[in-house]
Amino acid sequence: MMANFENFLWWIFIIFTLTCGGFCIEAHYRYKNKDGIDNEHKFSNKYKYFGQPVYDKQNKIHGYELLLREYNHHTNKWQLPRNVVDFPLSKIVSTIQEINPQLKDITNLSLNMTVSQITDFRAEYFFTWVLGTTNIKQLVIELDANDIRRANIFKRKEILYILRKIKRLQIKVTIENVDSSKKTYNLLQQYLPYIDYLKFNIHSFNKSANHWIDVTLAQWQRRSAIFNIEMIVGKIEDANHIALVNQLNIPFRQGYAYGHPENLKK
């Protein structure tokens, strides 16, 4: 009786081990062969980072935001990559290496990352690499509020955990595309203690018959001050926008009125 029971447990162990091994092999295979830009060849000639300047109130450059672009051979133009959410950390490493010599003169460098990228199991190694082997003086990770909104509750908790770790690494964090809705305001509250910058699209605060403002820029300003969060206003395109951010005493500004994205690799 005991021998039969031991055999039963042995076969349970074998089946469990084989099943786990099968899942691991499948996961590895699916990751290596997933659709999207992870499989692109000659990517170094196809993807580049462009830098768009961020200015302070004194009209001096505070830093640059890195914008990933894909070359379209049909239009002969650089454009936002398709499937950018799947762009792997390994290729971000290679793309940063291309422009690394130019980074020594930039004080603050903001790197856009998706929820998928920042919750990648290799993200911590990626941050260690960036801090230890590049010319980046102050790394700023930029997350999109819309991307966080689309994430499920488990991913949002994981983001919170990662932001706590990033804080200890002296990496700063920006959340961009913050708008005037109550939904965004409530969504971001749990992240505020771990955020250094909030970036607002200035067009989100243009009141009209079709656009109601739940939370004003001034209200966000007061809330940000509690956590010592500095504000950036983006998409500034004309003199009226500049006058508004001056009136509100916004510390940092970005947009075509200040500078277009430029190729950092000369």
Burial class of residue 241, CB neighbours in 10 A (0-12, 13-18, 19+): buried
- Which residue has 């302070």 as its token pair? 56
- Assess whether 89 and 214 both reside in one domain: yes
Burial class of residue 118, CB neighbours in 10 A (0-12, 13-18, 19+): buried
- Assess whether 227 and 165 both reside in one domain: yes
Whether pTM > 0.85 for this model: the answer is no
pLDDT digits (tens, 9 = 90+) for 176-189: 999 999 999 999 99
Strand residues in the chain grouped as ranges (E): 47-56, 61-72, 77-79, 108-112, 138-144, 172-178, 197-201, 230-234, 252-253, 262-263
In this prediction, residues 2-9 reach a mean pLDDT of: 62
Q: Which of 142, 213, 223, 226 is nearest to 177 (CA)?
A: 142
As a whole number of angstroms, the distance between CA 251 and CA 28 comes to: 45
Give the phi and the psi of residue 193 in degrees, each rounded to 5. -65, -15
Comparing 145 with 85, the larger pLDDT belongs to 145
Residue 215, both tokens: 């939370």
- Assess whether 106 and 159 both reside in one domain: yes
Would residue 259 be called left, alpha or beta, if left means φ above 0 and alpha means ψ between -120 and 50 degrees?
Answer: left
Residue 255 has pLDDT above 80, yes or no: yes
- The overall longest dimension of the chain from CA atoms, in Å, is 88
CA distances from 116 to 125, 168, 242 (A): 15, 21, 34
- Assess whether 1 and 79 both reside in one domain: no
Kindly report the CATH number assigned to the domain that includes residue 178. Answer: 3.20.20.450
pLDDT computed for residue 204 by the predictor? 81
Give the phi and the psi of residue 85 in degrees, each rounded to 5. -65, -25
CA distances from 210 to 178, 206, 214 (A): 19, 10, 13
- Assess whether 214 and 154 both reside in one domain: yes
pLDDT digits (tens, 9 = 90+) for 87-130: 888 888 888 888 898 888 889 999 999 999 999 988 989 999 99
Comparing 263 with 159, the larger pLDDT belongs to 159
User: Between β-strands 47-56 and 252-253, what pairing exists: parallel, antiparallel or unpaired?
Assistant: antiparallel
Instruction: State the DSSP string of 1-21.
Output: -HHHHHHHHHHHHHHHHHHHH
Side-chain-side CA neighbours of 160 within 13 Å: the count stands at 14
- Assess whether 29 and 96 both reside in one domain: no
In this prediction, residues 146-167 reach a mean pLDDT of: 95
- Assess whether 6 and 58 both reside in one domain: no
Comparing 24 with 49, the larger pLDDT belongs to 49
Residue 246 has pLDDT above 50, yes or no: yes
Contact 123, 117 (CB under 8 A): yes
pLDDT computed for residue 36 by the predictor? 44
Residues pairing with 142 in the sheet = 112, 174
- Assess whether 29 and 129 both reside in one domain: no
Q: How many domains does the chain have?
A: 2
pLDDT computed for residue 142 by the predictor? 97
- Assess whether 12 and 129 both reside in one domain: no
Mean pLDDT over each residue of the chain, to the nearest integer: 85
- Distance, C-alpha 112 to centroid of its chain: 3
- Assess whether 138 and 178 both reside in one domain: yes
Residue 8 three-state SS: helix
The domain of 103 spans 42-263
As a whole number of angstroms, the distance between CA 73 and CA 161 comes to: 41
Buried b (16+ CB within 10 A) or exposed e, 190-200: ebeebbbbbbb
- Assess whether 52 and 25 both reside in one domain: no
- Assess whether 249 and 148 both reside in one domain: yes
pLDDT computed for residue 205 by the predictor? 76
